[in-house]
Structure 1
Amino acid sequence: MKHPVRFAAVSLALLAAAGCSRSMSPYSDNSPPPLTPVPSGQVASNQLPPPPPPPPPSNDTVTSPDQVATDLETTPGTATGDQPATEPKNTQVASVSQPALSRNSVLGAYKVTTDGGNCQIILSLTKWSGGYRAASRGCPGKVADVSAWDVSGGQVLLKDSGGSNVANLSSAGKARYEGRTTGGQAITLYR
């Protein structure tokens, strides 16, 4: 007889505890409002337009020989004989003030224009096979293989992961480099 009484007492205690654990009646209208569903729809994606073409090379620091010849003025009858004398209209010729090409001067992110389209290249100073680490983004043709770079002999060398040259570029003004890939494709880096 002890067991049925004990069983009943434990059952009543569990029922009381279960009834006390809920402070709200399941039938009351005090429940929080339902959450609004997240709108679902189709996600659209479009291709970005290509970057703008590079600016033309600037002639701020270099005067070409043709421009110097045009700046000379001829004054007839001042030389001996029948030959006219030439007097310079502007005797000041711009000097080349291009800083020496170094890794630190080339380092950074560039916009790239090639025969196949436009893209970006980032040149860092992290050691890599063939020189230093480079990353191309969205580049066409051989330029997509660029993964290393270096400076040698006054040129910027772009290389693939095996260390083979992809392109050789020469300075064409402030933060602008022009050249050709090994396949003959024109390439310009600028910022």
Structure 2
Amino acid sequence: MQIGKLGLVASTVVLLGAAGCQSERMASLNTRPAPLPAAPAGTVTAQQLPPPAPTTFPETPPPAPAPTTQVAALDPAAGAAAASTPVTEGAVAGVWNVSVAGQSCRVATPRTKFGQGFRAAPLRCPAPLDGVKSWAVQGNQVVLYNDGGSQVASLSSTGPEKFDGTTSSGSPVSLTR
């Protein structure tokens, strides 16, 4: 009796599958749109190209420049301009690579309202950043807070996609993308 029921179920599945392939719904998949009529492309003219200009090369290459010991200097005003630019919440939102006193981790800073500003989620960060729960923008600084609302770190913009600062205990911290 078991084999009879199993055979009945199997044949029913096969028949339903075959019937589905014969429906009108599948016929529309095999149709192609009518080809577009050819459009004239204009006239084509033919004429001889002028000969290429002769190229001349010097007999010997110019000497290599003498090595110098010049070092590029950073413009001090450029750093001040970056630090004085107001930071926006949209520029801070995202995922950051964090360096805290020589150790690395990551912090997500979505724009979800929480605590002192927006939610923050550290990933395998050392203390004190392991306790960061929220962040906020204050002028040209990003401030990180713990669950109790106390400030954990304060960072200033030092360039595009980079913030540098210190933790409340004085350890250096930087955020980069």
Structure 2 counterpart of 1:118, one-letter code: S
Return the alpha-carbon distance in structure 1 between the equivalents of residues 91 and 3 of structure 2.
72
Name stretches of at least 5 consecutive residues in structure 1 with no aligned partner: 1-19, 24-58, 66-92
Structure possessing the higher radius of gyration over alpha carbons: 1
Superimposed CA distance per residue, residues 74-110 of structure 1 (whole angstroms, 9 cap, x where no aligned partner): xxxxxxxxxxxxxxxxxxx999477531111111110
The TM-score normalised by the length of structure 2 is: 0.55
- Pick closer, same or farther for the CA change 1:140–1:96 going to 2, 3 Å: same
Q: What amino acid is the match of 2:86?
A: A
| Structure 1 CA distance for aligned equivalents of residues 87 and 124 of structure 2 | 27
Which residue of structure 2 aligns with residue 26 of structure 1?
none
C-alpha distance in 2 between matches for 1:166 and 1:151: 14
CA distance in 1, matches of 2:105, 2:76: 31
Name the aligned partner's letter for residue 164 of structure 2: E
Which residue is equivalent to 1:128?
Answer: 114
Tell me the equivalent position of 1:63: 75
Cα displacement (A) at 1:154:
1.4
CA distance in 1 between counterparts of 2:136 and 2:91 reads 12
Q: 8 Å contact 1:130–1:161 — kept in the other structure? A: no
1:154 aligns to 2:152 (yes or no): no
Following superposition of structure 1 onto structure 2, how do residues 81-92 of structure 1 map, counting pairs within 5 Å?
none
Q: Compared with structure 1, are the counterparts of its residues 132 and 64 closer, same or farther at alpha carbon in structure 2 (3 Å cutoff)?
A: same
What TM-score results when the alignment is normalised by the length of structure 1?
0.51
Gapped runs of 5+ residues in structure 2? 5-71
Identity %: 31
Amino acid at match of 1:141: A
